[in-house]
Amino acid sequence: MANSELRVFHGTSHPELGDKIIQYLGLPPGEIKISRFAGGEIYARILENVRGQSCVIVQTCTEKVNDDLMELFIIIDAMKRASAKTITAVIPHFGYARQDRKAASREPVSARLIANLLETAGADRVVTMDLHSDQIQGFFNIPVDTLTAMPILASYIKGKGLQDLAIVAPDTGRVKVAKKLADRVGAQLAILHKVRAEHHVSAVTHVVGDVKDKTVIITDDMIDTAGTITSGVDALREAGCRPEVYVLATHGIFSGSAVERISKSGFREVVVTDTLPIPEEKRFPGLEVLASAELLGEAIRRNYENRSITTLFD
Protein backbone atom coordinates (compact mmCIF):
# COMPACT_ATOMS: atom_id res chain seq x y z
CA MET A 1 0.00 0.00 0.00
CA ALA A 2 1.38 3.36 -0.98
CA ASN A 3 2.14 6.08 1.55
CA SER A 4 -0.37 8.74 2.41
CA GLU A 5 0.77 12.15 1.28
CA LEU A 6 -0.19 15.52 2.68
CA ARG A 7 -2.35 17.54 0.30
CA VAL A 8 -3.58 21.01 1.30
CA PHE A 9 -6.51 22.67 -0.49
CA HIS A 10 -8.32 25.90 0.23
CA GLY A 11 -11.82 27.16 -0.37
CA THR A 12 -12.75 30.60 -1.64
CA SER A 13 -13.29 32.32 1.69
CA HIS A 14 -9.72 33.50 2.24
CA PRO A 15 -7.40 32.41 -0.60
CA GLU A 16 -4.46 34.55 0.57
CA LEU A 17 -4.29 32.77 3.91
CA GLY A 18 -4.65 29.38 2.23
CA ASP A 19 -1.81 30.18 -0.15
CA LYS A 20 0.43 31.39 2.67
CA ILE A 21 -0.14 28.18 4.60
CA ILE A 22 0.65 26.04 1.56
CA GLN A 23 3.74 28.15 0.92
CA TYR A 24 4.88 27.73 4.51
CA LEU A 25 4.55 23.97 4.10
CA GLY A 26 6.53 24.03 0.85
CA LEU A 27 3.82 22.09 -0.97
CA PRO A 28 2.31 22.53 -4.41
CA PRO A 29 -1.23 23.92 -3.98
CA GLY A 30 -4.04 21.35 -3.95
CA GLU A 31 -5.85 21.49 -7.27
CA ILE A 32 -9.55 22.11 -6.89
CA LYS A 33 -12.20 23.81 -8.96
CA ILE A 34 -14.82 25.76 -7.06
CA SER A 35 -17.48 27.74 -8.87
CA ARG A 36 -20.91 29.10 -8.33
CA PHE A 37 -23.87 28.59 -10.60
CA ALA A 38 -26.06 31.53 -11.54
CA GLY A 39 -28.76 29.95 -9.37
CA GLY A 40 -26.56 30.27 -6.29
CA GLU A 41 -25.43 26.69 -5.84
CA ILE A 42 -21.78 25.96 -5.23
CA TYR A 43 -19.94 23.44 -7.34
CA ALA A 44 -16.67 21.87 -6.32
CA ARG A 45 -14.48 19.31 -7.98
CA ILE A 46 -11.11 18.10 -6.82
CA LEU A 47 -8.80 18.06 -9.80
CA GLU A 48 -6.13 15.70 -8.56
CA ASN A 49 -6.21 12.15 -7.28
CA VAL A 50 -6.67 12.12 -3.47
CA ARG A 51 -7.25 8.40 -3.00
CA GLY A 52 -5.66 7.42 0.29
CA GLN A 53 -4.14 10.86 0.84
CA SER A 54 -4.15 13.02 4.01
CA CYS A 55 -6.31 15.89 2.81
CA VAL A 56 -6.55 19.29 4.43
CA ILE A 57 -9.03 21.96 3.45
CA VAL A 58 -8.53 25.52 4.70
CA GLN A 59 -11.72 27.56 4.92
CA THR A 60 -12.39 30.40 7.32
CA CYS A 61 -15.81 31.88 8.19
CA THR A 62 -16.23 35.38 6.82
CA GLU A 63 -19.29 37.61 6.65
CA LYS A 64 -20.72 35.23 4.05
CA VAL A 65 -20.46 32.49 6.64
CA ASN A 66 -23.27 30.36 5.22
CA ASP A 67 -21.66 30.19 1.82
CA ASP A 68 -18.32 29.46 3.44
CA LEU A 69 -19.70 26.61 5.52
CA MET A 70 -21.76 25.04 2.73
CA GLU A 71 -18.73 25.24 0.45
CA LEU A 72 -16.71 23.51 3.13
CA PHE A 73 -19.30 20.74 3.58
CA ILE A 74 -19.46 20.19 -0.17
CA ILE A 75 -15.69 19.97 -0.55
CA ILE A 76 -15.50 17.53 2.33
CA ASP A 77 -18.22 15.41 0.70
CA ALA A 78 -16.25 15.38 -2.55
CA MET A 79 -13.07 14.38 -0.71
CA LYS A 80 -14.85 11.62 1.17
CA ARG A 81 -16.35 10.16 -1.99
CA ALA A 82 -12.97 10.50 -3.71
CA SER A 83 -11.55 8.14 -1.04
CA ALA A 84 -9.36 10.56 0.87
CA LYS A 85 -7.72 8.77 3.79
CA THR A 86 -8.34 11.57 6.27
CA ILE A 87 -9.99 14.96 5.92
CA THR A 88 -8.89 17.80 8.16
CA ALA A 89 -10.98 20.97 8.15
CA VAL A 90 -8.84 23.97 9.04
CA ILE A 91 -11.25 26.72 10.08
CA PRO A 92 -9.15 29.64 11.37
CA HIS A 93 -12.26 31.60 12.41
CA PHE A 94 -15.03 29.21 13.43
CA GLY A 95 -18.39 30.77 12.63
CA TYR A 96 -21.51 30.70 14.81
CA ALA A 97 -19.24 30.25 17.83
CA ARG A 98 -21.13 32.86 19.83
CA GLN A 99 -24.34 30.83 19.62
CA ASP A 100 -22.75 28.21 21.86
CA ARG A 101 -25.61 27.97 24.36
CA LYS A 102 -29.28 28.73 24.72
CA ALA A 103 -29.25 32.19 26.28
CA ALA A 104 -33.01 32.35 25.89
CA SER A 105 -35.58 29.62 25.52
CA ARG A 106 -36.11 27.99 22.10
CA GLU A 107 -32.85 29.24 20.68
CA PRO A 108 -30.61 26.93 18.70
CA VAL A 109 -27.10 25.94 19.76
CA SER A 110 -25.74 26.74 16.35
CA ALA A 111 -22.10 26.04 17.19
CA ARG A 112 -23.02 22.47 18.11
CA LEU A 113 -25.10 22.21 14.98
CA ILE A 114 -22.10 23.23 12.85
CA ALA A 115 -19.96 20.67 14.64
CA ASN A 116 -22.54 17.97 13.87
CA LEU A 117 -22.82 19.05 10.24
CA LEU A 118 -19.03 18.94 9.82
CA GLU A 119 -18.88 15.42 11.23
CA THR A 120 -21.80 14.34 9.05
CA ALA A 121 -20.17 15.79 5.95
CA GLY A 122 -17.14 13.64 6.70
CA ALA A 123 -14.51 15.69 8.52
CA ASP A 124 -12.10 13.57 10.56
CA ARG A 125 -10.45 16.42 12.43
CA VAL A 126 -10.79 20.17 12.91
CA VAL A 127 -8.06 22.73 13.42
CA THR A 128 -9.19 26.16 14.57
CA MET A 129 -8.00 29.23 16.45
CA ASP A 130 -9.20 30.94 19.61
CA LEU A 131 -12.73 29.58 19.83
CA HIS A 132 -15.24 31.94 21.43
CA SER A 133 -15.53 29.45 24.29
CA ASP A 134 -13.30 26.50 25.07
CA GLN A 135 -16.33 24.28 25.53
CA ILE A 136 -16.94 24.27 21.77
CA GLN A 137 -14.19 21.65 21.55
CA GLY A 138 -16.63 19.40 23.35
CA PHE A 139 -19.26 19.95 20.65
CA PHE A 140 -17.15 17.66 18.49
CA ASN A 141 -16.67 13.92 18.77
CA ILE A 142 -13.68 14.13 16.47
CA PRO A 143 -10.33 15.56 17.60
CA VAL A 144 -10.08 19.34 17.55
CA ASP A 145 -6.80 21.22 17.67
CA THR A 146 -7.49 24.62 19.14
CA LEU A 147 -4.61 26.93 18.42
CA THR A 148 -4.28 30.28 20.08
CA ALA A 149 -2.88 33.55 18.80
CA MET A 150 -2.27 34.73 22.33
CA PRO A 151 1.51 34.17 22.20
CA ILE A 152 1.64 36.18 18.97
CA LEU A 153 -0.50 38.97 20.41
CA ALA A 154 1.27 39.01 23.77
CA SER A 155 4.65 39.04 22.15
CA TYR A 156 3.63 41.95 19.96
CA ILE A 157 2.37 43.99 22.88
CA LYS A 158 5.39 43.17 25.02
CA GLY A 159 7.58 44.46 22.23
CA LYS A 160 6.01 47.89 22.79
CA GLY A 161 7.59 48.19 26.24
CA LEU A 162 4.44 49.75 27.70
CA GLN A 163 4.20 50.41 31.44
CA ASP A 164 1.35 50.26 33.98
CA LEU A 165 -0.81 48.03 31.89
CA ALA A 166 -4.39 47.02 32.62
CA ILE A 167 -5.96 44.24 30.58
CA VAL A 168 -9.67 44.89 30.25
CA ALA A 169 -12.37 42.31 29.49
CA PRO A 170 -15.13 43.98 27.49
CA ASP A 171 -17.86 41.97 29.23
CA THR A 172 -18.29 39.40 31.98
CA GLY A 173 -18.05 36.45 29.60
CA ARG A 174 -14.55 37.44 28.45
CA VAL A 175 -12.81 37.73 31.81
CA LYS A 176 -11.13 34.36 31.64
CA VAL A 177 -9.31 35.20 28.42
CA ALA A 178 -8.34 38.65 29.70
CA LYS A 179 -6.95 36.99 32.79
CA LYS A 180 -4.73 34.73 30.69
CA LEU A 181 -3.30 37.70 28.82
CA ALA A 182 -2.88 39.69 32.04
CA ASP A 183 -0.87 36.86 33.57
CA ARG A 184 1.24 36.54 30.44
CA VAL A 185 2.18 40.22 30.18
CA GLY A 186 2.17 40.91 33.92
CA ALA A 187 -0.73 43.35 34.03
CA GLN A 188 -3.70 44.30 36.19
CA LEU A 189 -7.14 43.02 35.32
CA ALA A 190 -10.33 45.04 34.88
CA ILE A 191 -13.78 44.31 33.60
CA LEU A 192 -16.51 46.19 31.81
CA HIS A 193 -20.17 45.33 32.23
CA LYS A 194 -23.38 47.03 31.35
CA VAL A 195 -25.96 47.93 33.96
CA ARG A 196 -29.45 48.95 33.03
CA ALA A 197 -30.63 51.42 35.68
CA GLU A 198 -34.30 51.37 36.60
CA HIS A 199 -36.64 53.57 34.53
CA HIS A 200 -33.88 54.18 32.05
CA VAL A 201 -33.72 52.91 28.53
CA SER A 202 -30.01 52.86 27.91
CA ALA A 203 -27.49 50.82 29.80
CA VAL A 204 -24.45 52.32 31.46
CA THR A 205 -21.06 50.64 31.23
CA HIS A 206 -19.44 50.05 34.60
CA VAL A 207 -15.75 49.51 35.14
CA VAL A 208 -14.84 46.94 37.73
CA GLY A 209 -11.21 47.24 38.81
CA ASP A 210 -8.76 50.09 38.87
CA VAL A 211 -7.66 51.57 35.55
CA LYS A 212 -6.63 55.00 36.74
CA ASP A 213 -3.45 56.17 35.00
CA LYS A 214 -3.13 52.80 33.38
CA THR A 215 -2.44 52.03 29.75
CA VAL A 216 -5.45 50.02 28.89
CA ILE A 217 -5.58 47.00 26.54
CA ILE A 218 -9.05 45.76 25.74
CA THR A 219 -8.91 42.15 24.66
CA ASP A 220 -11.45 39.92 23.02
CA ASP A 221 -11.53 36.83 20.77
CA MET A 222 -13.01 38.82 17.91
CA ILE A 223 -13.99 42.31 16.85
CA ASP A 224 -17.31 42.17 15.06
CA THR A 225 -19.41 45.36 15.09
CA ALA A 226 -17.00 46.84 17.65
CA GLY A 227 -20.00 48.11 19.63
CA THR A 228 -18.89 46.75 22.97
CA ILE A 229 -15.33 47.95 22.84
CA THR A 230 -16.15 51.40 21.53
CA SER A 231 -18.83 52.00 24.14
CA GLY A 232 -16.42 50.65 26.76
CA VAL A 233 -13.61 53.03 25.95
CA ASP A 234 -15.59 56.04 27.15
CA ALA A 235 -16.20 54.43 30.51
CA LEU A 236 -12.52 53.58 30.77
CA ARG A 237 -11.53 57.14 30.01
CA GLU A 238 -13.99 58.48 32.55
CA ALA A 239 -12.38 56.09 35.02
CA GLY A 240 -9.10 57.86 34.36
CA CYS A 241 -7.10 55.55 32.12
CA ARG A 242 -4.27 56.95 30.02
CA PRO A 243 -5.24 58.33 26.62
CA GLU A 244 -3.58 55.61 24.55
CA VAL A 245 -5.90 52.59 24.46
CA TYR A 246 -5.06 49.35 22.64
CA VAL A 247 -7.39 46.65 21.37
CA LEU A 248 -6.19 43.07 20.88
CA ALA A 249 -8.20 40.32 19.24
CA THR A 250 -7.56 37.21 17.18
CA HIS A 251 -10.34 37.62 14.65
CA GLY A 252 -11.04 40.91 12.90
CA ILE A 253 -14.52 40.73 11.38
CA PHE A 254 -15.18 44.50 11.33
CA SER A 255 -18.79 44.11 10.23
CA GLY A 256 -21.48 46.77 9.93
CA SER A 257 -20.22 50.17 11.04
CA ALA A 258 -17.27 48.73 12.94
CA VAL A 259 -14.64 50.71 11.07
CA GLU A 260 -16.53 53.97 11.54
CA ARG A 261 -16.98 53.33 15.26
CA ILE A 262 -13.36 52.41 15.74
CA SER A 263 -12.16 55.45 13.83
CA LYS A 264 -14.12 57.70 16.16
CA SER A 265 -12.83 56.04 19.31
CA GLY A 266 -9.25 57.10 18.96
CA PHE A 267 -7.59 53.80 19.77
CA ARG A 268 -3.84 53.88 19.55
CA GLU A 269 -3.77 50.50 17.84
CA VAL A 270 -6.19 47.76 16.97
CA VAL A 271 -4.28 44.50 16.63
CA VAL A 272 -5.72 41.40 15.01
CA THR A 273 -4.40 38.40 13.06
CA ASP A 274 -5.15 37.51 9.47
CA THR A 275 -7.55 34.64 10.17
CA LEU A 276 -10.04 36.68 8.20
CA PRO A 277 -9.54 38.61 4.97
CA ILE A 278 -9.56 42.36 5.59
CA PRO A 279 -10.39 44.16 2.38
CA GLU A 280 -8.86 47.52 1.58
CA GLU A 281 -12.01 49.46 2.53
CA LYS A 282 -11.89 48.02 6.06
CA ARG A 283 -8.29 48.96 6.71
CA PHE A 284 -7.92 52.03 8.90
CA PRO A 285 -5.02 53.86 10.51
CA GLY A 286 -3.86 52.07 13.62
CA LEU A 287 -4.87 48.65 12.36
CA GLU A 288 -2.14 46.09 12.78
CA VAL A 289 -2.61 42.64 11.21
CA LEU A 290 -0.32 39.88 12.48
CA ALA A 291 0.37 36.72 10.49
CA SER A 292 -1.26 33.41 11.47
CA ALA A 293 -0.20 31.23 8.55
CA GLU A 294 2.94 29.89 10.19
CA LEU A 295 1.01 28.78 13.24
CA LEU A 296 -1.69 27.11 11.16
CA GLY A 297 0.80 25.58 8.77
CA GLU A 298 2.94 24.21 11.57
CA ALA A 299 -0.15 22.63 13.18
CA ILE A 300 -1.02 20.95 9.88
CA ARG A 301 2.51 19.66 9.50
CA ARG A 302 2.67 18.27 13.02
CA ASN A 303 -0.68 16.59 12.61
CA TYR A 304 0.58 14.89 9.50
CA GLU A 305 3.83 13.90 11.19
CA ASN A 306 2.15 12.69 14.39
CA ARG A 307 4.01 15.26 16.45
CA SER A 308 2.65 17.18 19.41
CA ILE A 309 0.94 20.49 18.72
CA THR A 310 0.77 21.57 22.34
CA THR A 311 4.50 22.10 22.42
CA LEU A 312 3.95 24.89 19.90
CA PHE A 313 2.61 26.95 22.78
CA ASP A 314 5.13 26.07 25.50
Residues 96-135 binding its own copies (CB under 8 A) are 96, 98-113, 116-117, 120-121, 125, 133-135
The residue among 182, 183, 272 whose CA lies nearest residue 223 is 272
d(CA 137, CA 313): 18
With CB under 8 A as the contact rule, which of the stretches 9-17, 18-26, 202-210, 283-291 interacts with its own copies?
A: 202-210
With CB under 8 A as the contact rule, which of the stretches 7-15, 90-98, 212-220, 288-296 interacts with its own copies?
A: 90-98
CB of 189 to its own copies, least distance (A): 5
Radius of gyration of the chain from its Cα atoms, rounded to whole angstroms: 21
213 lies in the binding site for its own copies (CB under 8 A): no
Instruction: Give the amino acid at 81.
Output: R
With CB under 8 A as the contact rule, which of the stretches 7-15, 50-58, 263-271, 284-292 interacts with its own copies?
A: 50-58
309 lies in the binding site for its own copies (CB under 8 A): yes
244 lies in the binding site for its own copies (CB under 8 A): no
d(CA 157, CA 205): 26
Tell which one of 26, 40, 279, 285 touches its own copies (CB under 8 A). 40
- Using CA atoms of 307, 308, 312, 314 in order, give the dihedral in degrees to the nearest 10: -140
Complex with its own copies: residue 20 or 220, whichever CB lies closer: 220
With CB under 8 A as the contact rule, which of the stretches 151-159, 205-213, 260-268, 280-288 interacts with its own copies?
A: 205-213
CB of 73 to its own copies, least distance (A): 6
The residue among 209, 202, 147, 200 whose CA lies nearest residue 175 is 209
Sign of dihedral through CA atoms 95, 100, 102, 104?
negative
Complex with its own copies: residue 242 or 261, whichever CB lies closer: 261
274 lies in the binding site for its own copies (CB under 8 A): no
Residues acting as catalytic residues: 194
Tell which one of 15, 138, 240, 266 touches its own copies (CB under 8 A). 138
292 lies in the binding site for its own copies (CB under 8 A): no
d(CA 305, CA 89): 17
CB of 42 to its own copies, least distance (A): 7
Q: For the range 203-206, what are the long-range contacts, defined as Cβ-Cβ under 8 Å and sequence gap of 24 or more?
A: 204/235, 205/231, 205/232, 205/234, 205/235, 206/235
136 lies in the binding site for its own copies (CB under 8 A): yes
Tell which one of 256, 260, 266, 294 touches its own copies (CB under 8 A). 256
Helix (H, G, I), strand (E, B) or coil at 10: strand
Q: Is 106 exposed, middle or buried (0-12, 13-18, 19+ CB in 10 A)?
A: exposed
For its own copies, how many residues bind (rule: CB under 8 A)?
Answer: 108
